Structure 1
Amino acid sequence: MSLESTIEPIAQDALHDQPIERVHRDGVEFVVLGTAHVSRSSMEAVQTLLERESFDAVAVELCASRAQGMRDPEAFKQMDLFQIIRQGKAGMVAASLVLSSFQKRLADQYGIQPGAEMKAAMEGADSRGLPLWLIDREVGTTLKRAWHSVGFWQRFGLLGGLLASVFEREDIEESEIEKLKQGDMLESAFSEFASESAPLYRSLIAERDAFMSARLREEAAGTTDGTLRRVLVVIGAGHLKGLCEHLRNDRTDPAAEAAELSRTPPKARWPKWLAAGLVLVVFAAIAWAFHRNTALGTQALLAWVLFTGGFAALGALIAGGHPASIVSAFIAAPIKPFRPGIPAGGISAMTEAWVRRPRVADFDALRDDIGHWKGWWKNRVARTLLNFFLVSMGTIVGEYSAGIHILHSVF
């Protein structure tokens, strides 16, 4: 087994200063190109490599859903908001939209579409009749593993970073984007990141390095007719060093490793137990209040309704919700303990989407609108997602506020 690796010598024109490594393993040469996902020169480097060299397959840092979205950029317009909310995917959809909005803002500065180098690789494979390998982990799985890898308070920092990436309006110089392809800068940046949140770095970067290496080995092992000699691998520059190291050194079963890294971590149980415990304590206090005095019990029960329903309705109001979604939030929040399933935020958001059905224009302008804070209230799709989050947050605030008030008044 040959595992030697060499750094591609600097060439002229489109490949000048491009980070390329060649890894030889099991009789296959993997030509690994590191790119910046909003870089014009990265797209040109992909096209040049395909023109100058002969490849038997092309691998890209995409999962099936992202590849489909890139091939059909209008596909997101067909998403069913009711199903998204009912299945509890509102958070994943919102995070994906925020990330794509940030990438689109950068790309708009330079007249190039986000992921143009990946699209160039896919189109190059199609035009040459080459197999296309989608080697990245599903984006939803990565986001879930990243979310579950950090603590409660770190999640607020993660959300804050996402929001800051959307609302930051300062332009970024194209030269700074190109610098991201210098290995030493990437290593130092990721080392600093890892020191701040090693679990987050592991989920977003390190695990995907191992996953993509495993997928490359799995695809190569599956080609048994002896025709596979050279594969072009197009990945983000931040994965270049880690992926190549795994590709040289890993001895694990690739299919088993990919399956393990694709596993969605189980949800933490303590938040549900804490919420259930709070509700039990509060309703025990209400029952005790009725036992002592009917009027006191009635006041405690009314406090529960007003606090939970009031804060949930306030969330819908802040989100610019329709009166019907505000009323549904007020009704759904107090009976949440007796109504397992869709949360109050989901009921209010579905009401909002039913009363104010998103128009084609809302989907057309979605990525642009969410890049400005006012757009979250103007766009009907974004406002529905905002309604879901604010009503859900209002319900939680209302429950704790009601609990404190009732316990204080009864004991």
Structure 2
Amino acid sequence: MSATDSTLLSASDLKGQPIERVQRDGVEYIVLGTAHVSRTSVEAVQALLATESFDAIAVELCDSRAQGMRDPEAFKQMDLFQVIRQGKAGMVAASLVLSTFQKRLADQYGVQPGAEMKAAMDGAEARNVPLWLIDREVGTTLKRAWHSVGFWQRFGLLGGLLASVFERETIDEKEIEKLKQGDLLESAFSEFATESAPLYRSLIAERDAYMAARLREEAGRSVTANPCKVLVVIGAGHLKGLCEHLRIQQADPSNTVAELAQTPPKSQWPKWIAVGLVLLIFAAIGYAFHRNAALGAQALRDWVLFTGGFAALGALAARAHPLSILAAFIAAPIKPFRPGIPAGGISAMVEVWARRPRVADFESLRDDIVHWSGWWTNRVARTLLNFFLVSVGTIIGEYAAGFHILKSLL
């Protein structure tokens, strides 16, 4: 193919693509909006790289996501014991669920999730130019989103994640292109994201400001007297917001990055409500013993049966090993006296010990969890499911026990 033919092909690939050019502090940013699962977006990245010369390439990726693209097999080294002990089981499960949303789309058209980001990364390596990873860590974004909404709205978050697993409707490629009007995380949480201002701020608006500040930060580190030209590849849902911030931001970029990268402190009121409930229940049990030893023994038995029983049901629903079910039953009633790892964590660690995940489970994990049944057949996924269901069962059991014990005393 001649140089002229290549130019014409590149121009065709860029036709209609959302591209903006922003001048800031002597730097020209060519910002390309993409859909994260789209052949057209991959071709647009390749066309820009073929037709223009860049001094740096920036992508909407954080370190962990970029590492996952560079080494897709890295998650096989995951230590489930450490994930559970460090309280990261929920975050790992959420990240896996989000990956199923991408893979479900990608499997229909043979385009790997984030292929346009991979094309930009490969382009930076081939041209020996700096690669800037400008997005906020996905774990931080999810935590800020979780803490930004109220108790009941969090069910919407969970519902959005679960819907992305169970949804099986075939999506037309034209609809995939419409993802250029949104964002991957926003799409995964469906309409809930657009209807919740705090959630939208955490998933979209904050990241717009963060990525604009990261661009300025990186440009300040690398640019001296000479202006440079930077290709920025982002989801098109961020195009307008990022470009606006890039034009008007005045605060020191490092301060903006540090502020938006902070993990919000855990809200204390759910903890105090839970502590208050437990204290109330045990006060009721103490009162029952004061009234009558048999009545007190019955109240204590109810506490064990309700908390242990619902936790065990959670493990049973996850098809856990019998020892994991027994561990859930034992750990849940003594939770108030055993701060640290929750009952779900103890049951999950027993599950890992009793049914140690095989290499094949890690190798097939992402493929298995695309289908809901895979959460029960893959040992890695089942361990995470066990953790979640036992934790939920323990909470339900505590409220059910409290209601039953108080009712028996009235």
Distance 1:139 1:350, change over 3 A: same
Give 1:370-409 correspondences, 5 Å limit. Answer: 370-409=369-408
Partner of 1:210: 209
Report deviation, 1:259: 0.5
SS of alignment partner, residue 20 of structure 2? strand
1:248 aligns with 2:247: yes
Distance 1:326 1:180, change over 3 A: closer
Q: Aligned partners of 2:107 and 2:48: how far apart in 1?
A: 25
1:57/1:230 contact within 8 Å kept:
yes
Number of residue pairs matched by the alignment: 396
SS of alignment partner, residue 226 of structure 1? coil
Output the amino acid matched with 1:331. Answer: I
Give 1:338-349 correspondences, 5 Å limit. Answer: 338-349=337-348
Identity of aligned residues (%): 79
Partner of 2:330: 331
| Superposition misfits of 4+ residues, deviation over 6 angstroms | none
1:220/1:228 contact within 8 Å kept:
no
Distance 1:335 1:193, change over 3 A: closer
Q: TM-score, normalised by structure 2?
A: 0.94
Report deviation, 1:153: 0.9
1:134 aligns with 2:141: no
1:166 aligns with 2:165: yes
Query: Any stretches of 5+ residues in structure 2 without a counterpart?
Result: 1-9
Cα deviation digits, residues 101-133 of structure 1 (max 9, x gap): 110110111111100110111111011110110
Q: TM-score, normalised by structure 1?
A: 0.93
Partner of 1:308: 307
SS of alignment partner, residue 217 of structure 2? helix
2:103/2:370 contact within 8 Å kept:
no
Output the amino acid matched with 1:49. Answer: L
Query: Any stretches of 5+ residues in structure 1 without a counterpart?
Result: 1-10
SS of alignment partner, residue 225 of structure 1? coil
Report deviation, 1:226: 3.1
Output the amino acid matched with 1:65. Answer: S
Give 1:265-284 correspondences, 5 Å limit. Answer: 265-284=264-283
Partner of 1:50: 49
Cα deviation digits, residues 242-289 of structure 1 (max 9, x gap): 000000111111000010001111111111101100111111111111
Report deviation, 1:193: 6.2
Q: Aligned partners of 1:278 and 1:175: how far apart in 2?
A: 52
Report deviation, 1:360: 1.3
RMSD of aligned alpha carbons: 1.7
Report deviation, 1:181: 3.1
Distance 1:182 1:374, change over 3 A: closer
Q: Aligned partners of 1:66 and 1:221: how far apart in 2?
A: 24
Output the amino acid matched with 2:216. Answer: R
Cα deviation digits, residues 132-175 of structure 1 (max 9, x gap): 10000000000000011111111111111111111111111111
Partner of 1:5: none
Distance 1:194 1:368, change over 3 A: closer
1:56/1:227 contact within 8 Å kept:
no
Q: Aligned partners of 2:398 and 2:323: how far apart in 1?
A: 22
Distance 1:16 1:259, change over 3 A: same
Report deviation, 1:224: 4.2
